[in-house]
Structure 1
Amino acid sequence: MDIKNILPADFSPASRVWIYQSNRPFSEQEALEINEQLDQFTAQWNAHGDEVTGWGKLLFNQVIVLMADESRTMVSGCSTDSSVRIIKSMERQYAVNLFDRLLLAFLVEDKVQLLPLAQLNYGIEKGFISEDTIYLNNTVLTKQEMETRWLIPIKESWLATKLQKTVSS
């Protein structure tokens, strides 16, 4: 997937990004509803009364991405809180977990596969994933980082140190 073709071209490379990964894929109907809710939210997103230039989309039927172009309006604590509220609302609405940072996501045959961090070594030993498996690096903070460092091979991520321990042991 060429992420550059999906992200808004007119947003600054420094635009802030928030990534929320679901513990399960959404159904087609849920995906339509989520994208509609994201459109509605970003259309009325404000920071101290000023409109935030925002964008939101569900990717891979499992990953919600919110982006704010701060070249026009800086995102405030209140506007960040409002974005977290919509995500928490979706969590409740669809009975999913969108805040589990210990659940790692990988692209296997163009589908998101999840693996708890604690089972990373098991996944490598059993051949479910390898150093070339694409990892969703959900720690990226900007549009530019998302374009260049979001979908990366495990060997180029912070997980590489875990991979080398497994291979060498």
Structure 2
Amino acid sequence: MNLAYRHLLPADFAADSRVWIYQSSRLFSMSEALQIEDLLNHFTTNWKSHGTPVKGFGTLFFGQFIILMADENATGVSGCSTDSSVRLIKEIEQLYKVAMFDRQNLAFVVKDKVQLLPLGQLQYAADNNFVQANTLYFNNLVQTKQELEDSWLIPVTESWLAKRIKPQNA
């Protein structure tokens, strides 16, 4: 699995551009991914805040994570424009029968694949070496382009999960 993604982010967006990450409850098929990319491109091309175009970006990473980004140095994102992005994600949920808002489902890179784990099973996974100190975790709480570049895909020990579990290989 190629984990390089930074070069796919728009270079002309400010480091403090706002980011929203939506994790799917399953991997999208290739045809679904292409359709979702079309939906995201259409949305970001027409994204507006109080009638002013938003400098937006949207893509699907690793077949499972929808990333939306708005460069607020160009146009501020209002509540209404944020609501429109949430409507898009809800539409994707319905179209593809997936959950995109479940923050209790954690994503890790295990055996070169994205693996999901319910938060309630985290300690069990750590106790059984499914999740270790150096296991890569998708920190979907990042809020800016800079954080997306530096802190999205990080070892468990560098995440908020480190306080929740005691990995055996720490």
TM-score (norm 2): 0.95
Tell me the distance in 2 between the aligned counterparts of 1:56 and 1:122: 35
Tell me the distance in 2 between the aligned counterparts of 1:161 and 1:83: 32
Partner of 1:102: 104
Q: Secondary structure at the match of 2:116?
A: strand
Matches within 5 A, 1:59-70: 59-70=61-72
Deviating more after overlay: 40-49 vs 122-131: 122-131
Partner of 1:125: 127
Tell me the distance in 2 between the aligned counterparts of 1:145 and 1:162: 22
C-alpha distance after superposition, 1:75-119 (max 9, x if no partner): 000000000000000000000000000000001233210000000
Tell me the distance in 1 between the aligned counterparts of 2:67 and 2:133: 25
Partner of 1:140: 142
Tell me the distance in 2 between the aligned counterparts of 1:108 and 1:40: 33
* Amino acid across the alignment from 1:136: F
Partner of 1:36: 38
Partner of 1:85: 87
Tell me the distance in 1 between the aligned counterparts of 2:163 and 2:49: 40
The offset of 1:2, in angstroms, is 2.8
* Count of matched residue pairs: 167
The offset of 1:4, in angstroms, is 1.9
C-alpha distance after superposition, 1:54-77 (max 9, x if no partner): 000011100100000111100000
C-alpha distance after superposition, 1:21-65 (max 9, x if no partner): 001000010000000100000000000010000000011100100
Partner of 2:53: 51
- In structure 1, runs of 5+ residues without a counterpart are none
Tell me the distance in 2 between the aligned counterparts of 1:10 and 1:110: 31
Partner of 1:7: 9
Q: Which runs of 4+ in 1 moved over 4 A?
A: none
* Amino acid across the alignment from 1:68: A
Provide the alpha-carbon RMSD of the alignment. Answer: 1.3
